[in-house]
Amino acid sequence: MIYINEEIDRKGNKMDKILKLYCPYEYKLLRPQLKKQICNGCGPKSKFDFVPDTIWGLKIIEICNIHDYLYYIGKTIEDKEKADRIFLNNMLRLIENKTKWKWLKKLRKKRAYKYYKAVKYFGGPAFWINKNNKNYIYKEKK
């Protein structure tokens, strides 16, 4: 589990509402340089990043990074499907926990399902990249 606590009251004090997101233990151990190579937030890893890292003002970049990592370590179609379900589950947890107004919660959930459908139906190339090359060994850039 990874913990997110971005809630700050009007006086600048942190509030004790902590949200648990699912992620593999190894994700928390990633060195910043390696995390930067594997994870890129929401959307495809390219110079044309058109997918927002927020859902109606709610930051989901850490959820997208966890999803990127799950794609990186995944080996089978079942791993991809599990990564996509975890992605949706983490977004819904965040929305449920960090959204006060019902109308905004509804909008955010609708957008979360769009993000989920995008990775479910169009995330195959991102998942399978470099996995069919048996000689491929990931090397950390220096």
* 54-113 per-position pLDDT tens digit: 899 999 999 999 999 999 999 999 999 999 999 999 999 999 998 999 999 999 999 999
65: in domain: yes
One-letter amino acid at 113 equals Y
User: How many other C-beta atoms can be found within 10 angstroms of the C-beta atom of residue 98?
Assistant: 16
114: in domain: yes
The token duo for 119 is: 């990775």
Q: Which domain holds residue 76?
A: 31-128
57: in domain: yes
User: How many other C-beta atoms can be found within 10 angstroms of the C-beta atom of residue 88?
Assistant: 18
Question: Residue 85 sits in a domain of what CATH number?
Answer: 1.20.90
The pTM of this model reads 0.79
21: in domain: no
pLDDT band at residue 49 using 50, 70 and 90 as cut-offs:
low
Could you tell me what percent of the chain has a pLDDT over 70?
77
pLDDT band at residue 131 using 50, 70 and 90 as cut-offs:
confident
Count of domains forming the chain: 1
Q: Where are the alpha helices (DSSP H) in 99-136?
A: 102-122, 124-128
Q: What per-residue string of b and e applies to 70-86 under the rule 16 or more CB within 10 Å gives b?
A: bbbebeeeeebeebbeb
pLDDT band at residue 43 using 50, 70 and 90 as cut-offs:
confident
Question: Which position has the higher pLDDT, 13 or 42?
Answer: 42
What is the pLDDT, as a whole number, of residue 52?
86
What is the pLDDT, as a whole number, of residue 6?
44
133: in domain: no
Rounded CA-CA distance 30/11 in Å is: 33
Contact present, 4 and 110 (Cβ < 8 Å): no
Contact present, 41 and 53 (Cβ < 8 Å): yes
One-letter amino acid at 13 equals N
62: in domain: yes
Q: What's the whole-number mean pLDDT along residues 14-38?
A: 83
